[in-house]
Amino acid sequence: MLLVSLFLLLQPPTERALLEIEYNRSEDAAPLSKALKSQDAHLQMRAARTAGRLERPSLGDAVVPLLGSSDPGVRREAVAALAQMGASFDFGGLIGVEKDGSVRAVIYEALGRDRPVRAGSEALLVASLKDKDPLARTGAARGLEWLIRLNIKAARPEPSTIAALREAVRGNRISDLRQFALLALNLLEDSDPETLDIALKDDDPQVRRLAMVGGKRWVEDPSPMVRLEAMRLFGNCERAFTAIQNDPSSHVVLAAVDLLGKEKCDPNAIADLVGHGRDWRVRSRALVSLARVAPEAARSRLSGFAADSRFQVRVYAANAASLAKDETVLAALARDANPNVVAAALTTFDEALRALESDHSGLLLAAAEKLSGGSELKASAPRILATIQRLSRRGQVTVRDPRLRLIEVLGEASDPNVIEELRPLLADRDPVVAALVAKVLTEKTGKRATAITTTYRPEPLPSEAALRSLDGATAVMVMKGLGSLTLELLPREAPATVATFVGLAEKGAYDGLTFHRVVPNFVLQGGSPGADEYDALTPQFMRDEPGFTSHRRGTLGISTRGHDTGDGQIFINLIDNWRLDHTYTVFARVTSGMDVVDRILEGDVIESVRVQRPGKAR
Identity at 429, one-letter amino acid code? R
Higher pLDDT, 560 or 12: 560
Is the pLDDT score of 7 beyond 70?
A: no
Predicted local distance difference test score (pLDDT) of residue 508 = 98
With cut-offs at 50, 70 and 90, classify the pLDDT of residue 48. very high
Q: What is the pLDDT of residues 421-457, one digit of tens each?
A: 999 999 999 999 999 999 999 999 999 999 999 999 9
**SS3 (DSSP) at 180:** helix
The answer to whether the beta carbons of residues 65 and 79 sit under 8 Å apart is no
With cut-offs at 50, 70 and 90, classify the pLDDT of residue 100. very high
Q: What is the pLDDT of residues 229-282, one digit of tens each?
A: 999 999 999 999 999 999 999 999 999 999 999 999 999 999 999 999 999 999
With cut-offs at 50, 70 and 90, classify the pLDDT of residue 502. very high
H/E stretch holding 223 reads: none
| Torsion angle (degrees, nearest 10) of CA 273, 277, 281, 285 | 0
Predicted local distance difference test score (pLDDT) of residue 13 = 84
Identity at 416, one-letter amino acid code? P
C-alpha triplet 456, 20, 17: angle, nearest 5°? 155
Please enumerate in sequence order all residues whose Cβ is within 8 A of that of 240, keeping only pairs 6 or more positions apart, or say none.
231, 256, 257, 259, 260, 263, 265
Predicted local distance difference test score (pLDDT) of residue 414 = 84
Four-residue CA torsion sign, 484, 488, 489, 494: negative
Q: What is the pLDDT of residues 300-323, one digit of tens each?
A: 999 999 999 999 999 999 999 999
- Percent of the chain scoring above 70 in pLDDT: 98
Predicted local distance difference test score (pLDDT) of residue 12 = 67
With cut-offs at 50, 70 and 90, classify the pLDDT of residue 11. low
- Percent of the chain scoring above 90 in pLDDT: 95
Query: Looking at 527-615, which runs of residues are DSSP E strands?
Result: 555-558, 570-573, 586-592, 606-612
With cut-offs at 50, 70 and 90, classify the pLDDT of residue 616. low
H/E stretch holding 300 reads: none
The Cα 530–Cα 514 span in angstroms is 9
Is the pLDDT score of 352 beyond 90?
A: yes
Q: For residue 26, give the nearest of 60, 51, 61 by alpha carbon.
A: 51
Q: What is the pLDDT of residues 379-416, one digit of tens each?
A: 999 999 999 999 999 999 999 999 999 999 999 988 89
Q: What is the mean pLDDT of the chain?
A: 95
**SS3 (DSSP) at 611:** strand
Number of Cβ within 10 Å of residue 230's Cβ equals 22
Predicted local distance difference test score (pLDDT) of residue 6 = 37
